Amino acid sequence: MVSVAELAGVSVRRGEKLLLDDVNLSIDEGQRWVVIGPNGAGKTTLLSILATTLYPTKGVVGILGEVLGAVNVFELRPRIGLTSASMAHRIPYREKVGDVVVSASYAINGRWHEHYDEMDFERAGRLMDYFGVAHLADRTYGTLSEGERKRVEIARAMMTDPELLLLDEPGAGLDLGGRERLVSTLNQLCASPYAPTTVLVTHHVEEIPAGITHALLLSDGRAAASGPVGEVLTDENMSAVYGMPLHIEQAADGRWTAKAAVTG
Ligand SMILES: Nc1ncnc2c1ncn2[C@@H]1O[C@H](COP(=O)(O)OP(=O)(O)OP(=O)(O)O)[C@@H](O)[C@H]1O
């Protein structure tokens, strides 16, 4: 197995607070991970480390064969695709959708005078097609619905053909239709042998695509459980982390549901 990310004894401290506390994690090529846990558990902090935008206070982080702190992160970042609320906020509202996607090859927000090859435009076109936003190529990003934006952001994150794809709460703020379209897109992506190793952060088990293979359950900065998704998303683990009796189920089509367990 080729390692894509390896965290050994990783802690992040800010003042008195431990945002991550001695986290160990090993992500291999081809795996599809979900990171789940209550508000403030450290999910975004963990994703920022994987995105190389945050360094740990303690511990060692290996990403794509390089050690964080001993590598030029600007060379590493094009190999990592990221969608997150803070990335999305940096996309100019007046930028055309086609330019939002193609400009990822220069790792910039907003086109200026860069030169793009025909191949860049072809790839952007194929990705917009794949994520169902090709018809929006000439619209400005600011005029899109939340669901359309999320799919454009994922197409953009895939533009550099990343080896690691990080998706931070892509379902946040979507209505039922938008969420279902997104899950269906992610199902397709996770099932593809050509898709990069993926790490998805979500609050809702209903948003976990069927092809997810592994899960990390974070609680108060610590890894409460990690490993194959079926072994991590159990009634016992989820109830302990959320502090209430929960019942978790995976349907035959791979979709997960969670609800309060009926007691008494
Ligand atoms: N600079 C900072 N100083 C102190 N505490 C911080 C700082 N940055 C983040 N935190 C705290 O660290 C904890 C983890 O934050 P993080 O955003 O990683 O959690 P999360 O699991 O992504 O949360 P959510 O589900 O609410 O998005 C939170 O309690 C947050 O308030």
CA of 188 to the centre of ligand 1 (A): 31
Q: What is the pLDDT of residues 87-136, one digit of tens each?
A: 899 999 999 999 999 888 655 555 555 666 788 889 999 999 999 999 99
Q: Are 171 and 90 in contact (CB under 8 A)?
A: no
**20 CA: nearest ligand 1 atom:** 14
Residues in contact with 14: Cβ distance below 8 Å, sequence separation at least 6, in sequence order: none
Ligand 1: which residue has its CA nearest to atom 18? 42
- Closest ligand 1 atom to residue 37 Cα is 21
Q: Are strands 164-168 and 80-83 parallel, antiparallel or unpaired?
A: parallel
For residue range 162-206, what is the model confidence (pLDDT) as tens digits? Answer: 999 999 999 888 888 888 988 999 999 998 888 999 999 999 999
Q: How many residues does the chain have?
A: 264
Cβ < 6 Å from ligand 1: which residues? Answer: 14-15, 17, 19, 37, 39-45
**Distance from the alpha carbon of residue 220 to the mean position of ligand 1, in angstroms:** 10
Architecture of domain 3-260: 3-Layer(aba) Sandwich (3.40)
What is the CA angle 89-68-63, rounded to 5? 80
User: How far is the C-alpha of 192 from the C-alpha of 186, rounded, in Å?
Assistant: 10
pLDDT at position 157 is 92
Residue 173 is predicted with a pLDDT of 83
> Cα(53)–Cα(75) distance, rounded to whole angstroms?
13
Q: Where are the domains of the chain?
A: 3-260
Distance, CA 221 to ligand 1 centroid (Å)?
Answer: 9
Query: Would you say 206 and 182 are in contact if contact means Cβ atoms under 8 Å apart?
Result: no
